[in-house]
Structure 1
Amino acid sequence: MEHVPVRCPVCRRDHAYVTPVYPCPCGAPTAPPLLRGAPAEPVTHRTWTDDWVSVRCHSCGRRDQWPHPELCCPCGAVLRIPVRPVATRGSSPASPARSHIPPPGTATHPRPPFRPLVIRTARDAVGAAALYLTWLGYRDVVQPEVRPPSRIDLRAAGLIAQVDSTTRPTALRDVECLWLNALNSSVTSVFFSLAGYADDARERGDGLAIPLFVMDLTGTPQPVNGPAEELVGTGP
C-alpha cells in the first residue's frame, strides 16, 4: 500500500494517507494512482459522476471505475486526494466491490474487518450505514421500504439513525430533528452524512452527544466527533 502525505487546507493538519486497494475481477489488487505533491481539495459539492476515477489493473490491463480517494479530517473537512488521470471517464462504474478494511478504532471486543458496500445511489448509502451499525454491534438493524415523514432511515434495538446522502453538508436542523425523534422514543441516535456537516450542525452534535459519521463512496464511515469515536471504540 502506498502512503502519501496530505495536508488539510482548512486546519493545516498533516495526515499520512494510505491508498485504498481494490480487487480487480482478475484477482489482482489495484489502487488509484495518486498524484504526489498535489494539494488535497475540500469537497464542497458532490456529483455522482465526478466522485469516480478510472483505474487500470497492472496485471490484466482492465480499466474500471472506483471511488475517488478521499480523507476525512478531524476538523470536519472531507478532502479529495488528487490522482493521475488514467483514462477519460465515460464508462459506467464497475460493479460494487467489497474490500477488507480494518476497524477505525479498537473495540472492547475484537471485531472482524468491516466489509463496506460501495455507494452508487442514495439507497446504497443507507445500506452501507446499516452494515456498519451491524458491524458495531447493534441488533436487528432494519431499513423501512419507504422513508417515513420523520426521515428516520434505520432502526435497531435502542437506536435510530439518519443517513444524509445529498450533496450539501448536513444542516443544524437535521441533527436537532434526529435528536428530538430519539428523545421522544427514548433511544439513542447516530447520524451518517456523505457531504459532511455544517459547522453549527457539528457543534450541536457534540453538545447533544450524537455520534456523527462521514461516509465516502467506498461505503466506509469515519467518525468526525468524540461521541462517534467512543462508539467505534466501545460499541453500543
Structure 2
Amino acid sequence: MPESVPVRCPACRRAHRYTAPSYPCACGAPVTPPLDPDAVPVPVGHRAWREEWVTVRCGRCGCDGEWPRPELGCPCGTVLRIPVTGPRTSAPAAPAAPPGRPAFRSVPIRTVRDAVTAAVLYLRRLGHEDIHRADRHPPAGIGLAGRGVLAQVDPSARPATLRDVECLWLTAMTESARCLYFSLAGYAEDARARADALGVPLFLLDLAGVPQPVNGPADALDALGPDGGA
C-alpha cells in the first residue's frame, strides 16, 4: 500500500496528507519512493536536474530505478519537496506477470516535468534503464539520453518543426544512437515526412501521459520494442 505522511506547508501553515505515487519498474512491479515521516518538507526554489530524482530498489527484481522526487503543490502557491529516506527496497509485489513487456503505466501530464516523466517511463519500457538529462541542449524542449538512445521531449504549444526533427537526427548520428521524439502539440507535415524518410519515431503525448505513435517507425518500435525500429 502506498505510503502516506502528514505535511504542513511552512508558508501558509495549511495541513495536508501526502500519499507517495507508485511507478512501474521495467519488470512490471510497482515501486514507491520511501517517505521520511520525521523530516520537514522544503519549499522548491531553484531546480537542478539531479535533485529531481530519487533511487528506489524494486522488491521483485532488485533493480535500482530513478524516479521523480515526491512533491506537493499547496493551494497557496508553494511547491513542497517531500523528504525521502535513503535508497531502499520497495515493497515486494505480486508474482511476475506473463512473459513479454509490461503494460505501460502512464502519469497524467499537467506540467513539463510530467511530460518528461512520461517519456522516461516509455523509454524504460523499451529497455533503456539509464535515462538521464542529455548533455546537449536541443533547439526546442528537453533532451534525454541513455546508452544508445537519444530522445527529445517538446512540451510547447507549437507543433514540432522540420528543423527540430533534423537536429535530433543529426545529434543522434554523431553519437551513434537511435532517436525518438515526443511532442505534446504534434508535428508539422514536413516534419513528419522528414522523420519517415530518416526513420525517426515520432510520438504524441496525450494528457493521460500515454505516448501515441504517429508514424511508421514509431509504430514498429511500439509494437516490437527496441529492435523493431532497426
- 2:159 aligned with 1:159: no
Distance apart, 1:148 and its partner CA: 4.2
Compute the RMSD of aligned alpha carbons: 2.0
Q: Which whole-Å deviations, capped at 9, do the CAs of 1:142-201 have from their partners, x for residues lacking one?
A: 235xx7433552111100000110011111100000001001111110000001000000
Question: Does residue 1:188 correspond to 2:178, yes or no?
Answer: yes
- The residue matched to 1:230 in structure 2 has which SS? helix
Q: Deviations over 1:107-157 (max 9, x none)?
A: xx622221101111112111110001101222311235xx74335521111
The 5-angstrom pairing of residues 1-236 of structure 1 reads 110-143=100-133, 148-150=136-138, 153-236=143-226
Mapped to 2, the partners of 1:233 and 1:138 lie a distance apart of 16
CA separation in 2, counterparts of 1:123 and 1:171? 22
Q: Greater RCO between the two (CA within 8 Å, min separation 6)?
A: 1
Distance 1:167 1:196 in 2: 9
Given that 2:137 and 2:143 are in contact with CA atoms closer than 8 Å, whether structure 1 keeps it comes out as no
**Distance in 1 (alpha carbons) for counterparts of 2:159 and 2:172:** 21
Q: In structure 2, what is the Cα distance between the partners aligned to 1:149 and 1:202?
A: 22
Q: Which amino acid aligns with 1:220?
A: V
Distance 1:131 1:110, change over 3 A: same
Residues 133 and 145, structure 2, Cα contact 8 Å, conserved in 1? yes
In 2, Cα distance between equivalents of 1:234 and 1:149:
29
Moved over 6 A (4+): none
TM-score with structure 2 length normalisation?
0.52
State the distance in 2 between where 1:123 and 1:164 align: 11
Structure 2: runs of 5+ lacking an equivalent: 1-18, 20-76, 78-98
Larger Rg: 2
Residue 207 of structure 1: how far off its partner (Å): 0.3
1:55-77: CA deviations, max 9, x gaps? xxxxxxxxxxxxxxxxxxxxxxx
The corresponding residue for 1:36 is: none
Secondary structure of 2:124's aligned partner: helix
TM-score (norm 1): 0.51
> Unmatched 5+ residue regions in structure 1?
1-24, 26-91, 93-108
